[in-house]
């Protein structure tokens, strides 16, 4: 049976958009984890957590990262 209703297509577009945003958020978290200054084992643990829990894992990572950044003074150009 073919679903020709407008709402059926609308829901499909909504769910596809939400899924695409979640994938982008997960990939951004994985890239951020990889670029962090953590050691390799800690990066691996964070990456596995982000992959096992694809919604809450990246959220926790970004909260953790922002809380650690606020306690460390920003680097100047001369230090880089």
What does the pLDDT read at residue 67?
A: 84
What does the pLDDT read at residue 80?
A: 56
Q: 26-49 in b/e burial notation, b at 16+ Cβ within 10 A? A: beebbeebeeeeeeeeebeebbeb
Per-residue pLDDT of the chain (80 residues; tens, 9 = 90+): 555 666 677 788 888 999 999 999 999 999 999 999 999 999 999 999 999 999 999 999 999 988 887 655 556 566 55
What does the pLDDT read at residue 35?
A: 93
């Amino acid at each position: 049976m073919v679903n020709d209703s407008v709402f059926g297509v609308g829901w499909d577009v909504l769910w596809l958009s939400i899924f695409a945003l979640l994938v982008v958020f997960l990939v951004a978290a994985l890239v951020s984890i990889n670029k962090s200054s953590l050691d390799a084992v800690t990066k691996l643990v964070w990456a596995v957590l982000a992959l096992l829990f694809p919604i809450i894992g990246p959220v926790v990572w970004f909260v953790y990262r922002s809380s650690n950044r606020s306690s460390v003074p920003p680097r100047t150009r001369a230090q880089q």
